[in-house]
Amino acid sequence: GLPIPVFSLTSGNGSATPPFPRPLSTNQTRLQLMHRVPLLLYSPLLPGGIVIHGPASHIDLLPTILRLIHFRANTGLGTDLFDEQALGARVLPMWNAHQRVLTLATRGRIYHASYRASGPLELEMPIETLIDPVHDPLGVRNLAAIEAKTTQHFHDLANIYVTIYPWLVVHGRSGLP
């Protein structure tokens, strides 16, 4: 038969530039503008459409499209955005070099580790913010002290990231295989 088209429309992340449709009252709002980009998939294989509530990344496109066309393959990176169980358990890291903020996002919590010194990240104790993106999307209320166990879990993951990822970059292992 004829091939079935699958179209992907997305953009890159980067600097948020004015004018903004909403006030930048919190750093959470600013970071969302930098990391939140549209991702649209169109195909006759998706009649009626599907809305997937993040977090998601560009690395999720390949496993998602492969599943959509019923091609089973292990891509090694990314998560199939149609796999609810995988999305529920995922922690998505995002780095903002301008503000020196590591963001770890799940569906239910967003953790920011802000590094203020200019030295190695693994030697610095970051300023930590824990946000409930569902009930507090502007990030007005910091839950870090209230949810100490969750904050500690994200802190441990952040330490792994800032220790391992620079090594991967230096040794040329951070890209796709």
> What tens-digit pLDDT sequence spans the chain (177 residues)?
667 788 888 777 655 555 556 666 677 766 776 666 778 888 888 877 777 777 788 888 888 888 888 887 777 778 888 888 888 888 888 888 778 889 999 989 999 999 888 878 888 899 999 999 889 988 889 999 999 999 999 999 999 988 888 777 666 666 544
Which pLDDT does position 1 carry in this prediction? 65
Which pLDDT does position 169 carry in this prediction? 64
Which pLDDT does position 176 carry in this prediction? 47
Smallest CA-to-CA distance from 105 within 134, 145, 126 is with 134
Which pLDDT does position 171 carry in this prediction? 63
Q: What's the angle, vertex CA 20, arms to CA 15 and CA 22, rounded to 5? A: 125
Which pLDDT does position 35 carry in this prediction? 63
Contact (Cβ atoms closer than 8 angstroms) between residue 101 and residue 112: yes
- In the chain, the DSSP E strands lie at 7-10, 39-42, 92-96, 101-105, 110-114, 127-131
The pTM assigned to this predicted structure is 0.79
| Helix, strand, coil shares, percent, the chain, to 5 | 30, 15, 55
**How far apart (Å, rounded) are the C-alpha atoms in residues 39 and 60?**
10
Contact (Cβ atoms closer than 8 angstroms) between residue 55 and residue 78: no
